[in-house]
Amino acid sequence: MPRQIVLDARAQIEKATGITGDAVLICASHSHSSGPVGMVMPGEYDTASDLVKKLAYEESSCADPGYLLRLTHEIVAGVVAANQNKVPVQLGCGFGQEDKVSFNRRLRMKNGQSWSHPGAGNPDILEYAGPIDPQVGVIGAWDLQGQLVGVVVNFACHATTNPGGISANWIQYLEKTIQG
């Protein structure tokens, strides 16, 4: 997430709802199949050399200024809606363990280096260069009639499982599984 989007959204949320910016956590799933929020920002290389400008704007992945504005607007609209529809709830928190979904893409090789994605079955692989975080943090909210209002799920896994086409990536399958 570009820093400026977070700052803009927090300022607009505070203006619209009174919720202070320091109480607003904005996190992105890092989906590789979603909208253009990165990586070269609009105007970022305007003062660079012509070669760098060409490489940045014509040959690299660029954020879309219109999409960034829409994103900011929808973040604020979402918080305003959530603030309006809030209901008394009972909260439950817990952790699960899932160690089969993700893997550490850094592997220690026979030549002493650590490589990203050296290829499945590469004979020079010695071991994973680091751990994964298998913890699945969950907050559930139920209204006072016992109906589930919503769930927050925290799990660390790079969203590079592009199904083909525009997609929320693996997060979409998590949502489908939880919602049934």
Task: Give the whole-angstrom CA distance, residue 131 versus residue 159.
Answer: 18
Out of 7, 91, 101, 126, the only residue in the binding site for another protein (CB under 8 A) is 91
Tokens representing residue 139 in the block:
């907050």
Report yes or no: 2 and 37 within 8 Å, Cβ to Cβ.
yes
Query: If binding means CB under 8 A, how many residues of this protein chain bind another protein?
Result: 64
174 in contact with another protein (CB under 8 A): no
Place of tokens 């979409």: 172
Examine residue 41 and say whether the peptide bond preceding it is cis (omega within 30 degrees of 0): no
Q: Which is nearer to another protein, 87 or 126 (CB)?
A: 87
7 near another protein (CB under 8 A): no
What's the closest the beta carbon of residue 164 comes to another protein, in angstroms? Answer: 6
Interacting stretch for another protein, rule CB under 8 A, among 32-40, 94-102, 106-114, 123-131?
A: 32-40
- Does 33 participate in binding another protein (rule CB under 8 A)? yes
Q: Which two tokens stand for residue 126?
A: 């010695």
Smallest Cα–Cα separation from 161: which of 152, 172, 171, 170?
170
Closest distance of CB 105 from another protein, Å: 14
Q: Which is nearer to another protein, 51 or 112 (CB)?
A: 51
What does DSSP say about strands 125-128 and 135-143: parallel, antiparallel, or unpaired? unpaired
